[in-house]
Amino acid sequence: MKPFGTVSLVGAGPGDPELLTLRAARRILDADVVVHDRLVPTAIVDLARPGARRIPVGKRAGFHPVPQDDINALLVDLAMTGAHVVRLKGGDPFIFGRGSEEAAVLRRAGIAVEVVPGITAAQGAAASLGMPLTERDCATGVRYVTGHRKGDAPLELDWDGLADPDTTLVVYMGAANMAEIAARLIAAGLSRDMPVLAVSKVTTPDEARATSSLGRVGADPVIRALPSPVLFVVGRVVALAEAGQAVLPEVALHAPHLAEGAHA
């Protein structure tokens, strides 16, 4: 019987292929099969050798995502053929990426799993926007939080703990619930004027951003129009973001009052 192959859970970073780690690039080059999220750029998937299989799974607008259980089963089946499988995931596989669930299923099946970290979206945004998340005059710490719970469960977060003006909050998957998140943070004591930055497709050529405040973000039409994926940063560090590409030039042109605040 052929021995089981291995699965490398590889972080593809936030978008720019230059942000891959050397180890990630080496694993992709070596792979027999690459099972990738649909948001992972083609330039990264195409590092695989021509004979390697490429299997897209996961979300992209207009596609039905492959259910997580099916992805888990696929990874097990592929590894049982003896293949070196690279499971390529956006950002870091262990930051809101369900990488831990995939690793647990594989290990239970007796398959060796290796985790190759990637640059998470928050770090991509910090570098791309020139916005140190823990700048000492602005924040004593940073917290990564989810804006969306499993199975659309109610968003029960530690609002009192999160409403700390000295901590930078980075909200992943927050686009649908940002109005509620902002309202809960204000109710827990954060100022309505606390700056909020939203960045879309960070580190890609389509990166776009807009700034707002906790009091306005929920109804801000410029922020609502940002294409996914969108990351939110709440805190004083937002003021450090370098002036960049104004979001949605067509909004600025046709409705300048809506574009107010679109620059960092």
Ligand X SMILES: C[S@@+](CC[C@H](N)C(=O)[O-])C[C@H]1O[C@@H](n2cnc3c(N)ncnc32)[C@H](O)[C@@H]1O
Nearest residue to ligand X, using CB? 91
Could you say whether residue 91 binds ligand X (CB under 6 A)? yes
The answer to whether 173 is a known catalytic residue is: yes
Restricting to residues 9-28, which ones interact with ligand X according to CB under 6 A? 14-15
Point out which residues pair with 200 in neighbouring strands. Answer: 208, 230
Only one residue has tokens 């039905």, namely 64
Which of the stretches 66-74, 161-169, 229-237, 239-247 binds ligand X when contact is defined by CB under 6 A? 229-237
- Which is nearer to ligand X, 83 or 241 (by Cβ)? 241
Among 131, 223, 230, 234, binds ligand X (CB under 6 A): 230
Among 202, 233, 241, 259, binds ligand X (CB under 6 A): 202
- Which is nearer to ligand X, 5 or 11 (by Cβ)? 11
Beta strands across the sheet bearing 195-200: 141-146, 167-172, 230-234, 195-200, 208-213
The answer to whether 206 is a known catalytic residue is: no
Q: What is the dihedral of CA 119, 120, 121, 126, to 10 degrees?
A: -70
Which of the stretches 19-27, 69-77, 194-202, 211-219 binds ligand X when contact is defined by CB under 6 A? 194-202
CA distance 142 to 167: 5
> Which residues have CB under 8 Å from 182's CB, separation 6+?
196, 214, 215, 217, 218
Write the DSSP string, 24-87.
HHHHHHH-SEEEEETTS-HHHHTTS-TTSEEEEES--TTSPPPPHHHHHHHHHHHHHTT--EEE
Among 17, 97, 117, 195, binds ligand X (CB under 6 A): 97
Task: Please identify which of the residues 37, 92, 164, 220 carries the catalytic annotation.
Answer: 37
Restricting to residues 162-191, which ones interact with ligand X according to CB under 6 A? 172-173
Catalytic residues, by residue number, are: 37, 59, 173
Task: Please give the residue ranges that form the binding site for ligand X (CB under 6 A).
Answer: 14-15, 90-92, 95-97, 120-121, 172-173, 199-202, 229-231
